[in-house]
Amino acid sequence: MLSQFHDLLAHLPSGAHGGGDPTLTGIASLTEAQAGELTFVEHVRFLPQLQTTQATAVILPLDTALQSAAQARGLAWVALPDPRLGFALALNYFYQPAELPPGIHPTAVIDPTATVGEAVRVGARAVVQAGTVLENGVQVGAGVVVGDQVTVGYNSILYANCTIYERTEIGANCIIHSGAVVGSDGFGFVPTPDGWVKMPQSGRVVLEAGVEIGANTCIDRPAVGETRIGQGSKLDNLIHIGHGCRLGAHCALAAQVGLAGGVVLEDWVILGGQVGAANQLRVGSRAQVAAKSGLHQDVPSGAVMAGYPAIPLSLWRKVVAVVQRLPEMYQTWRQLGRRE
């Protein structure tokens, strides 16, 4: 795709800009960009890379040193309060994800009782079962299985080989990546002297509008009620969401997070990679938890937690500092003991 720099500016937040109106051919990172390409700089520490980049245009933060460097290099530039957001919007302008071919592939199997909206695309060997509704603009990739009585909302995309169990509700503009499983049985078993008795999982999973589910992530349904992922929440790859969990709006979970049954995340919670949470915990709104932390008690709103078991980040840093000094402290203790 070719674009004039000033045409791109119309798709970005307003900001000071300069350096002419070159033709742009694409987008690349600061160190890999070539002539004709757009790049971005997020912080003044990348000034040396900006001074040697081969890019033609750059998105900058509000920093006069970076702006001066861009001008000295003869780059077209725009300065924004959030250059990462500007870069994301530029990518949306330049890059259009691949779409399935229009229509329904002849090898797809769609139950006659399913409802298929306008401009729906269904790939090879996909299966859509009884009573399911595919709203307008939905894309169902090759090998996808959509169970009975599922609703897939407007413009949502189910990438190849994901599985949607019965009665799941998917809102508008959701994205579910390959290998994800939504609505599988929760881990419900009752011990008896003769072994485990399976508790039927009769509930459902609800994904609200704008949710994105990463590859090979699994979201379980509960015995009763629902597992709910709130509007705009983003889940990375290889995540497990246990039965009956409820995520608020705009939560962000990195890879390999594991939530046991009944965990509640309020709005805007951020969990780093491999965070684990025990049954029935509540994490307050806008709390953040560092990677590999283990949650065994509720987390208040706005808290920043780290470690196993998770403690406030400020305390965790002190603990780590002390642990690193333990060898020295041990030697001091031994020397004191010899003097007695």
- What are the residue numbers of the active site? 243
Q: Token digits for 177?
A: 């990546």
Cβ count within 10 A of residue 83: 24
What's the CA gap between 305 and 286, in Å, rounded? 12
Going edge to edge, which strands form the sheet with 57-60? 17-18, 76-79, 57-60, 37-40, 26-27
First to last CA, the chain: 79
Under 8 Å CB-to-CB from 215, ≥6 apart: which residues? 159, 177, 178, 179, 180, 237, 238
Q: How many helices (H) and strands (E) does the chain have?
A: 6, 39
The Cα-based distances of 311 to 40, 131, 201, 299, 300 in angstroms read: 36, 48, 34, 9, 11
Contact 291, 274 (CB under 8 A): yes
Q: Is the dihedral of CA 125, 127, 128, 134 positive or negative?
A: negative
b or e along 249-281 (b: 16 or more beta carbons within 10 Å of the residue's beta carbon)? Answer: bbbbbbbbbbbbbbbbbbbbbbbbbebbbbeeb
What's the CA gap between 28 and 228, in Å, rounded? 37
SS3 at position 166? coil
Contact 36, 25 (CB under 8 A): yes
SS3 at position 329? helix
